Amino acid sequence: MSMLTLRTRYSTYNRVLFAARRPYTTHTELPRPLPTEESSHIQTFSAPSKPRPYYARPPQRHSELPQIQKRWPYILALAAFGVSGWAAFLLVAMNQERLSSSVVKQILQTVRENGDLKSALGDAIRFEPIWYLNGDPWISGSINLPQGNVDLSFRLKGHRGSGTVYFTSIRKMKGEPFTPLRFRVICDDGKVVNVLPQPS
């Protein structure tokens, strides 16, 4: 066997052994061809590359924003309605407290037994009802027994006419009885009836 045949077999064996050890393969056989002038041209850039958008952005439309409706007028109206309702509730509750007091009941009983009022207003003297209080009367004034001060006025009616009763009483010192200062009924026709006994 000639020396050229041995070298050919040896180089083929080495290529097969080297290809078995490589984890990858190439599409060209060794030795690779030398690069030509066209393939060895190097392209240079004057600035760094900029990232390109992944998708085309939609065109921007300059449209006017919708007008947001103001809410503070509704909140203010709701707050005013709530405060008004609470104030009306307090007034009605205080009127019911004065109406159920023993002072008002005693005043009405004294007025019903007065003869001059029976001739001026008629029989069946009672409170004059008010429609917005569901038939109850409106008692104006205040009743402050701890401080010794009672000042009231309310409407009365009989089968002949109507009038307004005024009652004022004070207590000078703690422990003393109340002293009436004013207790009269002014009828709608102008007649004034003093319920207090006149001094002799």
Residue 186's domain is classified under what CATH number?
3.10.450
pLDDT in tens, 90-135: 999 999 999 999 999 999 999 999 888 888 898 889 999 888 888 8
Residue 110 resides in a domain:
yes
Burial 93-111 (b: 16+ CB within 10 A, else e): eebeebbebebbeebbeeb
* Among 178, 172, 159, residue whose Cα is nearest residue 107: 178
How far apart are alpha carbons 104 and 64 in whole angstroms?
68
| 0.85 surpassed by pTM | no
Q: Which residues, at least 6 apart from 58, have a Cβ–Cβ distance to it below 8 Å?
A: none
Residue 27 resides in a domain:
no
Residue 60 resides in a domain:
no
Residue 134 resides in a domain:
yes
Task: Report yes or no: 164 and 155 within 8 Å, Cβ to Cβ.
Answer: yes
Confidence band of 165 (pLDDT split at 50, 70, 90)? very high
Q: What is the mean pLDDT of the chain?
A: 80
Sign of the C-alpha dihedral computed for residues 121, 126, 132 and 138 taken in this order:
positive
Domain tally, the chain:
1
Residue 124 resides in a domain:
yes
Residue 166 resides in a domain:
yes
Residue 30 resides in a domain:
no
Confidence band of 51 (pLDDT split at 50, 70, 90)? low
Q: Which residues, at least 6 apart from 5, have a Cβ–Cβ distance to it below 8 Å?
A: none
Range of the domain at 164: 97-194
Residue 40 resides in a domain:
no
Percent of the chain with pLDDT over 90: 38
How far apart are alpha carbons 103 and 179 in whole angstroms?
13
> Looking at residue 3, what is its pLDDT?
55
